[in-house]
């Protein structure tokens, strides 16, 4: 059965709760009739992918210049992962080199060093691209740019960091494409300095480099509003219009069946549906083939924290964080913190894969996540102190992300389905890629030619899907655990 209409009520994130005014696009087009004419482009999904792509293609001279665009969402704008994430626009450092170049059979992406460099520098560029759009369009989205501290807390983490740093610099020196580019990441190897910078007594060393954060719900809303206001395209948005089925028409184009809302016909369709994409390919999903075999939904949980006096005012954090065996963390301009565990933290510290995979239900949170998040800051930040009533964790939510078995997104034309495009599966790291991906995808849609700014390893190809069959089985331990319950 399709993932939507949803049979449960989702949790509400801090971002969703703090963007409810008249300009928020909640319930936009919910009661309006869907278009009866054939439209040029339909984008399914009004998260950051759908909204930023709609923004890009509706610019003057873009793919939809002089054309019609319809954005459909099964719920509201940024109702899924885009409105539930950590708000962290955080390009990864050389630390990402490890999983990207590890062989598929060992659980990595199996990429060449050149492909890995392409991704690292693409993410670095993404921060600049996103910040430039926000400033150019004067979006009120709490943009912060500064530095992220990638903190290592174990001897093994330090050893691995040094190894990957050496691998990165050696690969960069050999790369004709990347060797001239600057490196914005800095190693802070002195333990005392790492502890001073982070206020984490467990810190052994860290990498310091560029990062940003924003209010992702307001950001998504702002980009979609710009698309709706385009004077060069006719763009409309319909919330609560779940696409239950795609039909490829003999006459060309697509029919999108939206249950009681009706049917929308389009010449071209873009899937910005991330974890829910597999439900639009039911035959492939049943056979365990194609895109559904390449992606796995999973649930993560995050929280908003009101810090105590010791971490307020002049004591507030001035950097964002990613901590080995710990969380990602940002400080909002209002002084709150957004914190959540990495998947590796869940698996290594307080849970297992089956606490996350393959779950599509974001209607609740679980005790082990809530307890770990509530205890992290008091137990790890120096001088945190006692939390008064109203301080500490004050909101917890969950959201559904999408794991790609080869660890990189699926972008571009969908194989053997003319007029169908996709940009999905960001492995919980979409805020560091999506706006730059959709900028390039929009150019691809305009010209029909792959945009060379986009890493070629993101492209959906037969060879890639076939090669991914070599991937280390990801969910065997989950299946084994489920069998043990029988």
Q: What is the pLDDT of residue 486?
A: 36
The Cα–Cα gap between 386 and 377 comes to 11
412 part of a folded domain: yes
On whether both 264 and 311 belong to a single domain, the answer is: no
Residue 481's pLDDT is what?
45
> Looking at the DSSP assignment, which residues form a beta bridge with residue 396?
303
Q: Distance between CA atoms of 133 and 89, rounded to whole angstroms?
A: 14
| Residues 200 and 305 both lie in one domain | yes
In a shared domain, residues 365 and 417: no
Domain boundary among 402, 432, 460: 402
HSE-up of residue 161 (Cα within 13 Å, Cβ side): 23
Domain identity same for 173 and 160: yes
pLDDT of residue 484: 43
Domain boundary among 376, 402, 428: 402
Q: Is residue 24 part of a domain?
A: yes
| H-type alpha helices, 146-269 | 155-174, 191-198, 216-228
* Burial class of residue 21 (count of CB atoms within 10 Å of its CB; 0-12, 13-18, 19+): exposed
302 and 375 housed in the same domain: yes
Contact 322, 209 (CB under 8 A): no
| pLDDT (0 to 100) of residue 474 | 74
From first to last of its 486 residues, what are the pLDDT tens digits of the chain? Answer: 456 777 889 999 999 999 999 999 999 999 999 999 999 999 999 999 999 999 999 999 999 999 999 999 999 999 999 999 999 999 999 999 999 999 999 999 999 999 999 999 999 999 999 999 999 999 999 999 999 999 999 999 999 999 999 999 999 999 999 999 999 999 999 999 999 999 999 999 999 999 999 999 999 999 999 999 999 999 999 999 999 999 999 989 999 999 999 999 999 999 999 999 999 999 999 999 999 999 999 999 999 999 999 999 999 999 999 999 999 999 999 889 999 999 999 999 999 999 999 999 999 999 999 999 999 999 999 999 999 999 999 999 999 999 999 999 999 999 999 999 999 999 999 999 999 999 999 999 999 999 999 999 999 999 999 999 889 887 765 554 444 443
Distance CA 113, CA 118 (A): 9
Within-domain flag for 119 = no
Residues pairing with 212 in the sheet: 89, 145
The answer to whether position 171 is within a domain reads: yes
**CA 115 to chain centroid:** 20
- Cα torsion for 423, 424, 430, 436, to the nearest 10°? -10
With respect to residue 5, please indicate whether it lies within any of the assigned structural domains. no
In a domain, 35, yes or no: yes
Please check whether residue 45 is in contact with residue 271, taking contact to mean a CB–CB distance below 8 angstroms: yes
CB 47 within 8 A of CB 82: yes
This prediction's pTM:
0.95
Number of structural domains (the chain) is 2
Residues 422 and 379 in one domain: no
SS3 348: helix
**Contacts of residue 114, Cβ cutoff 8 Å, sequence gap at least 6:** 171, 175, 177, 178
pLDDT of residue 170: 98
Name the pairing type of β-strands 39-44 and 263-271.
parallel
Single out the residue of 71, 55, 396 nearest to residue 266, CA to CA.
71
CA distance 67 to 415: 25
CATH number of the domain residue 255 falls in: 3.50.50.60
The Cβ of residue 370 has, within 10 Å, a number of other Cβ atoms equal to 14
User: What pLDDT is recorded for position 309?
Assistant: 96
Residue 375 lies in a domain: yes
Domain around 330: 144-206+296-402
| Same-domain check for residues 397 and 301 | yes
Residue 165 and residue 161: Cα distance in Å, rounded?
A: 6
In-domain check, residue 182: yes
Q: Which of 372, 402, 432 is the last residue of a domain?
A: 402
Same domain for 385 and 303? yes
CATH number reported for the structural domain that contains residue 152 in this entry: 3.30.9.10
């Amino acid at each position: 059965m399709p993932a939507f209409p949803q049979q449960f009520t989702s949790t509400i994130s801090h971002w969703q709760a703090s963007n409810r005014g008249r300009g928020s696009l909640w319930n936009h087009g919910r009661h309006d009739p869907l278009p009866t004419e054939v439209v040029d482009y339909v984008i399914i999904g009004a998260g950051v992918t759908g909204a930023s792509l709609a923004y890009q293609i509706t610019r003057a001279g873009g793919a939809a210049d002089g054309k019609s665009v319809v954005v459909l969402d099964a719920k509201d704008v940024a109702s899924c992962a885009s409105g539930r994430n950590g708000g962290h626009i955080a390009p990864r450092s050389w630390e990402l080199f490890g999983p990207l170049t590890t062989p598929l059979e060992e659980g990595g992406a199996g990429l060449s060093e050149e492909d890995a460099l392409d991704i690292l520098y693409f993410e670095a560029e993404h921060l600049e691209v996103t910040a430039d759009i926000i400033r150019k369009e004067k979006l009120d989205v709490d943009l912060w740019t500064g530095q992220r501290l990638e903190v290592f807390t174990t001897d093994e983490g330090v050893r691995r960091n040094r190894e990957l740093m050496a691998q990165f610099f050696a690969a960069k020196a050999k790369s004709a494409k990347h060797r001239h580019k600057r490196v914005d990441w800095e190693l802070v190897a002195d333990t005392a300095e790492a502890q001073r910078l982070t206020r984490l007594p467990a810190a052994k060393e860290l990498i310091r480099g560029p990062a940003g954060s924003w209010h992702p719900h307001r950001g998504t809303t702002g980009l979609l509003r710009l698309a709706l206001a385009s004077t060069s395209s006719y763009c409309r948005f319909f919330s609560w219009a779940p696409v239950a089925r795609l039909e490829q028409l003999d006459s060309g184009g697509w029919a999108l069946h939206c249950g009681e809302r009706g049917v929308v016909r389009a010449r071209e369709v873009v899937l910005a549906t991330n974890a829910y994409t597999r439900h639009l390919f039911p035959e492939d999903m049943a056979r365990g083939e194609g895109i559904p075999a390449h992606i796995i939904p999973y649930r993560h949980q995050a929280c908003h924290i009101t810090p105590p006096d010791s971490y307020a005012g002049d004591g507030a954090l001035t950097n964002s964080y990613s901590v080995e065996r710990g969380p990602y963390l940002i400080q909002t301009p209002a002084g709150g913190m957004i914190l959540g565990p990495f998947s590796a933290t869940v698996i290594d510290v307080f849970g297992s894969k089956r606490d996350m995979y393959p779950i599509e239900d974001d209607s609740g949170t679980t005790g082990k996540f809530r307890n770990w998040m509530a205890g992290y800051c008091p137990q790890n930040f120096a001088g945190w102190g006692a939390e008064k009533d109203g301080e500490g964790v004050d909101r917890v939510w969950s959201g559904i992300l999408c794991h790609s078995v080869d660890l990189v997104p699926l972008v571009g034309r969908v194989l053997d389905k003319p007029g169908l495009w996709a940009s999905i599966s960001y492995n919980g790291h979409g805020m560091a890629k999506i706006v730059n991906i959709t900028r390039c995808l929009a150019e691809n849609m305009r010209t029909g030619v792959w945009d060379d700014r986009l890493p070629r390893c993101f492209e959906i190809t037969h060879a890639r899907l076939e090669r991914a069959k070599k991937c280390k089985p990801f969910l065997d331990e989950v299946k084994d655990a489920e069998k043990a319950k029988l």
